[in-house]
Structure 1
Amino acid sequence: MKFPAFCLFLFVCMLLLPTYALGAESPAAIKLFMNEKRLTSTEVEPRIVSGNTIVPVRIIVQEIGAKVTWDPAARKVTIVKDDVNIQLVIDNKTAVINGKKETMEVAPIIENGNTMLPLSFIGSRMGIEFKWDALTSSVHMFKKDDTDSKPVTAPVDKGDGNQPGTSKPTAPPTVAPTKPTSPPTVPTTSPPTAPPTGDENGIKPPDPNVHLLNLIQLTEKDLIVNAKDGALTPTVLKLSNPNRIVFDFPNTKLDESLQKLLVNNSGELPSKHPLVQKVRFSNFADNPATVRIILDLKAPADYKSQTSKLPNQWTATIAEHQLTVVIDAGHGDQDPGALSITGKHEKEFTLATAKKVEKLLAQDKRVVVMMTRSDDTFIPLDNRVSFANDNMVDLFLSIHGNSAKSTVTGTETYYNRPESIDFANVVHEKVVAATGFPDRKVRQADFRVITKTTMPAVLVEVGYLSNKSDESAMYKEAFQDKVAASLVAAIKEYLNLK
Structure 2
Amino acid sequence: MMKFPAFCLLLLVSMLLPATAMGAEASNAIKLYMNEKKLVSAEVQPRIVNGNTIVPVRIIVEEIGAKVAWDESARKVTIVKDDTHIQLVIDSKTALINGKKETMEVPPIIDKGNTMLPLRFIGEQMGIEFTWDASTSSVKMFKKDDIDSQPVTGPVDVSDGQTPVTPTATPKPGTGTGSGSNSGSNTGAGSGTGTGTGAGTGTEVPDPNVHLLTSIVLTDKDITVIAKDGTLTPKTMKLSNPNRIVFDFPNTTLDEPLKKLLVKNAGELPSNHPLVDKIRFSNFNDNPATVRVILDTKGSADFKVQTSKLPNQWKATIAEHILTVVIDAGHGDNDPGALSITGKHEKDFTLSTAKKVGQLLSQDKRLNVLMTRSDDTFIPLDDRVSFANDIQSDLFLSIHGNSAKATVSGTETYYNRPESLNFANIIHKHAVAATGFPDRKVREADFRVITKTTMPAVLLEVGYLSNKNDENAMYKDAFQDKLASALVAAIKEYLSLK
* TM-score band w.r.t. shorter chain: 0.7 to 0.9
Look up the equivalent residue of 1:329 and give its one-letter code: A
Equivalents in 1 of 2:40, 2:349: separation in Å?
A: 51
> Is 1:402–2:402 an aligned residue pair?
yes
Greater mean alpha carbon deviation, residues 199-208 or residues 258-267? 199-208
Equivalents in 2 of 1:236, 1:460: separation in Å?
A: 31
Match of 1:420 in 2: 420
Look up the equivalent residue of 2:445 and give its one-letter code: A
Q: Work out whether residues 40 and 161 of structure 2, in 8 Å CA contact, stay in contact via their aligned partners in 1.
A: no
Matches within 5 A, 1:9-408: 48-50=41-43, 51=45, 54-55=58-59, 57=61, 60=64, 71=71, 74=74, 76-78=76-78, 87=88, 95-98=91-94, 101-103=107-109, 120=119, 123=122, 126=125, 128-130=128-130, 140-142=142-144, 183=159, 197-199=173-175, 200-202=186-188, 204-408=204-408
Q: Runs of 5+ in structure 2 lacking a partner?
A: 1-15, 27-31, 47-55, 96-105, 146-155, 163-169, 176-185, 189-202
Look up the equivalent residue of 2:159 and give its one-letter code: P
Alpha-carbon distance, 1:56 to partner: 6.1
Equivalents in 2 of 1:363, 1:235: separation in Å?
A: 34
Alpha-carbon distance, 1:269 to partner: 1.3
Q: Work out whether residues 271 and 277 of structure 1, in 8 Å CA contact, stay in contact via their aligned partners in 2.
A: yes
Equivalents in 2 of 1:239, 1:255: separation in Å?
A: 27
Alpha-carbon distance, 1:274 to partner: 1.1
TM-score by length of 2: 0.72
Closer, same or farther in 2 for the Cα pair 1:409/1:125, shift >3 Å? farther
Equivalents in 2 of 1:235, 1:458: separation in Å?
A: 27
Alpha-carbon distance, 1:97 to partner: 2.7
Match of 1:154 in 2: none
Look up the SS of the partner of 2:278 in the other structure.
strand
Look up the equivalent residue of 1:348 and give its one-letter code: D
Q: Work out whether residues 17 and 132 of structure 1, in 8 Å CA contact, stay in contact via their aligned partners in 2.
A: no
Alpha-carbon distance, 1:251 to partner: 1.0
Alpha-carbon distance, 1:209 to partner: 1.6
Q: Work out whether residues 412 and 463 of structure 2, in 8 Å CA contact, stay in contact via their aligned partners in 1.
A: yes
Output one character per residue of 1:357-392: Cα deviation in whole Å (capped at 9) or x when no partner: 111111111101111011111111010000000110
Closer, same or farther in 2 for the Cα pair 1:244/1:104, shift >3 Å? farther
Equivalents in 1 of 2:487, 2:88: separation in Å?
A: 40
Alpha-carbon distance, 1:457 to partner: 0.3
Q: Work out whether residues 214 and 228 of structure 2, in 8 Å CA contact, stay in contact via their aligned partners in 1.
A: yes
Q: Runs of 5+ in structure 1 lacking a partner?
A: 1-15, 24-29, 39-45, 89-93, 110-116, 144-179, 187-193
Output one character per residue of 1:436-470: Cα deviation in whole Å (capped at 9) or x when no partner: 11111111111110010000000000000000000
Q: Work out whether residues 108 and 118 of structure 2, in 8 Å CA contact, stay in contact via their aligned partners in 1.
A: no
Match of 1:449 in 2: 449
Closer, same or farther in 2 for the Cα pair 1:362/1:47, shift >3 Å? closer
Closer, same or farther in 2 for the Cα pair 1:429/1:467, shift >3 Å? same
Output one character per residue of 1:409-431: Cα deviation in whole Å (capped at 9) or x when no partner: 01011111111111111111111
Look up the SS of the partner of 1:401 in the other structure.
strand
TM-score by length of 1: 0.72
Alpha-carbon distance, 1:142 to partner: 4.4
Q: Work out whether residues 434 and 486 of structure 1, in 8 Å CA contact, stay in contact via their aligned partners in 2.
A: yes
